[in-house]
Structure 1
Amino acid sequence: MTKPPLTLYLAAPRGFCAGVDRAIKIVEMALSKWGAPVYVRHEIVHNRYVVDDLRAKGAVFVEELDDCPDDRPVIFSAHGVPRSVPAEAAARRMLYVDATCPLVSKVHIEAERHHEKGLQIVMIGHAGHPETIGTMGQLPPGAVLLVETPQDVAALDVRDPARLAFVTQTTLSIDDTAEIVAALRSRFPAIVGPHKEDICYATTNRQEAVKVMAAHAEAMLVVGAPNSSNSRRLVEVGARAGCTYAQLVQRATDIDWRALEGITSLGLTAGASAPEVLVNEVIDALRSRYDVTVETIETAQESVEFKVPRVLREPA
């Protein structure tokens, strides 16, 4: 039986960013240096395949330090943690390694500097996301106000409209964030913003690639986890850019084949915490049903690399 033709547009860049790559490497190096078990507070990155792979190697994933023994190493996830977490680990004399993405740490430092200058901080982010919790937790309770939409800006009750600054979660939609920033600047003209955009290079690059790809593809698949903010934003960006059908899939087994019936072109990308092995798995599944022609849509090249903490580079 002849397979129907399908042009597969493959986004580049896609998948792992430097912060995710570093976080995974930190867990693997910790296991190599100190042996199993090594504890990890929260999922090191938001991807079940990655977490399961590290768990098989000896990592134990927990939600709080209370679940960790004092005598084994603990790693903090790439999303960052409130200041109280390393303080508690230090008080218990635990050996801990911070795998917070350096670009998230940059936002933490920005918030601290604004606070030291007496500014009240507005954070653009998603309530309950670990990165938002970690950033807001760098400062005393009440020092940071959270907004998720332009409507939230209208309802803000601030201490002094002339003494404000804003920071953002690194994995947001560029377009949605721009709308919220515009609302903040309209209501609070004196508000201070970051010197450079808080949304990370990888989030920006992957969203730009999706926008270009959406103009070519009838449908789009985004490989990523439901709790991955940057992956979910890619789906939203694709739909907003005109792709009539955009679906988030964790694995090839999640593909809704009925929704793809009759298409001749498909876009494929992956969130910043999704490994390339899962992209290849989806491509193989597509090849089993279609006569696939792959075309890469490259909008940027990435060469960013972050060093792992010194404690892991030193001999045991």
Structure 2
Amino acid sequence: MQATPAPAPSRLALYLDLIRWNRPAGWLLLLWPTLSALWIAADGWPGWHLLGVFAAGTVLMRSAGCCANDVADREFDRHVKRTAERPVTRGAIAPAEALAVGAVLALVAFGLVLTTNPAAIQLSFLALAVTLAYPYAKRVLSMPQAVLGVAFSFGIPMAFAAVQGSADWGWASVTAAVPPQAAWLLLGNLFWVLAYDTEYAMVDRDDDLRIGMKTSAITLGRYDVAAVMGFYAVYLASWALLGRSLGLGGVFLAGIALAAAQAVWHYTLIRGRTREGCFRAFRANHWLGATVFAGVALDLALR
């Protein structure tokens, strides 16, 4: 007796797969540093409005980025075990349709930004440009994760702008709303992105070598594990120093210490360079970010 074929997935199911709805680790990695910056900028609770804008905006823009990334990488993804079944790659969603979904999500996110102030609105255009540039950075840069680091950290200056910005337009209002510490927090967070995205790249190293993709895992070679641990150290040390300079105290430093303990655990997962261990380490990174945020929020709440 011939087996009955499985029903084709609905368009909604395909769209949810396209934006990685069942894999929230990606947007959580953007959310925690953004919320940390939002709490720091507001010197505590930022209010429901800004919390909603940045939480929803983070999910929407990460989802839009997935759409653009899958279209740009569709010819590469078919040769990588982990990505071969993505909807665009396997032909279940046409590239134009995926881009249309991404555009709608980005427009909704932009609508949320419009409820803040001119400084945040102006920065949102830069954030979009970096997001769209990342998929193509993998063709030309030996460390494309650095571009991803900027994209995944851009919520930090936007949070400061949304809290501290005025009603004035022009880039002078942006620089007035975003203090130097915000730029340093972005730079420090970039090293966290380098750490976890190198772990991610270690999962696909063999496939990426075969198809000629450039990644930090390939560039770093046998120094990949040491580099990942160094990236974690720079991120946590820089945020500890910046947090102290911004008036955060012992509870915040306790959060940094707990995050450092998690980074040590990640070493035990990635030192063997197995696909399973590296992927597990990558997926666990949102807990590290959540720990840093908890330290920030609790420290400010207990003042």
Shorter-chain TM-score tier: under 0.3
Instruction: State the TM-score, normalizing by the size of structure 1.
Output: 0.27
Instruction: State the TM-score, normalizing by the size of structure 2.
Output: 0.28
Looking at secondary structure, tell me which structure has more strand per residue.
1
Looking at secondary structure, tell me which structure has more helix per residue.
2
Q: Which structure has more RCO (C-alpha within 8 Å, separation ≥ 6)?
A: 1
